[in-house]
Amino acid sequence: MNNEQELKDLVRQKYSEIALQDKDTNAASCCGSGCCSTEVYNIMSDDYTKLEGYNPDADLGLGCGLPTEFAQIKPGDTVIDLGSGAGNDCFVVHSQTGETGKIIGIDFTEAMIDKARTNAEKLGFNNVEFRLGDIERMPVSANTADVVVSNCVLNLVPNKANVFKEIFRVLKSRGHFSISDIVLVGELPANLQQAAEMYAGCVSGAIQKEQYIDLIKQAGFESITLQKEKQIIIPDDILSNYLGADEIAAFKQSDTGIFSITVFARKPDCCTPGSGCC
């Protein structure tokens, strides 16, 4: 299955289901893919519970990093969260921007938007809003955001180049992003690449780390910095759904690696005549 719309429909359906699950169910799987493991509690996501602004009702255990820790968010900033889910990162961002800031969460799954809006109402956050939309065509005007964050979402998007172009468009001059995502070093086994569940689970939709950084450069960003990197180990009981014992052994002995990275980049100064970015 390689049609972009089919892949988007798959992700939308899967994450609509995830929105109705509890955190324990999601966190025990590969980004909520449903391929539950008995070996680990949480494969990818970092611990949010000690961050100011953390709200357990909004934490579905779906992330692969803590981009808000690295995003250099200031009081009064306008921040966009791509793939905002139930609102977890948006509520952490709120603790950093304060009431003078503005936070916009974008998600293309109605069930997630409904859950996030309910959580925001409970918290009484009037400067946090959630918009239904595709992050390849954001429902946001150009030059709006000081900062863009995202957590384990771009790997689910078939056309990642379009997303980076959109991030560039919505950021203000000298605005920046901090994004946590899944990337590869080396080629995944064919059965993992072709597995629909593993696409919805963040892994088979990932691209090569070098290619990922190149897409950021091609979109026009500067000051590209790798802020954090950690290897992701998929337990055998998940791999066995897609690979035989010999294939698992070969995969583990190969140079292939699955990594969570957090990347920072800045939009250039758009006051430069002919820059084309304003």
| Stretch 120-131: mean pLDDT | 97
pLDDT band at 221 (very low <50, low <70, confident <90, very high): very high
| Helix, strand and coil percent figures for the chain, each rounded to 5 | 35, 20, 40
Task: State which H helix or E strand residue 177 sits in.
Answer: strand 171-185
- Maximum average pLDDT range among 5-9, 22-26, 122-126: 122-126
Mean pLDDT rounded to a whole number for the chain: 84
- With a cut of 80, say whether residue 244 has pLDDT above it: yes
pLDDT band at 242 (very low <50, low <70, confident <90, very high): confident
Reported as a single tens digit per residue, the pLDDT across 164-201 is: 999 999 999 999 999 999 898 988 877 777 665 554 45
Indicate the range of 44-48, 82-86, 216-220 predicted with least confidence.
44-48
| Burial class of residue 31, CB neighbours in 10 A (0-12, 13-18, 19+) | buried
CATH fold of 4-266: Rossmann fold (3.40.50)
| Burial class of residue 92, CB neighbours in 10 A (0-12, 13-18, 19+) | buried
Percent of the chain with pLDDT over 70: 78
* Beta bridge partner(s), residue 8: none
The reported pTM is 0.84
CA distances to 78, 152, 157, 164, 171 from 221, rounded to whole Å, are 19, 20, 20, 9, 11
Tell me the residue ranges of DSSP E strands in 32-127: 78-82, 102-107
| Stretch 102-122: mean pLDDT | 95
Q: How far apart are CA 194 and CA 10, in angstroms?
A: 13
Percent of the chain with pLDDT over 90: 52
Return the ∠ at Cα 251 (arms to 248 and 254), rounded to 5°: 150
Strand-strand pairing, 102-107 and 78-82? parallel
pLDDT of 31 reads: 45
CA distances to 79, 184, 214, 260, 267 from 205, rounded to whole Å, are 26, 10, 17, 13, 26
pLDDT of 277 reads: 56
pLDDT band at 135 (very low <50, low <70, confident <90, very high): very high
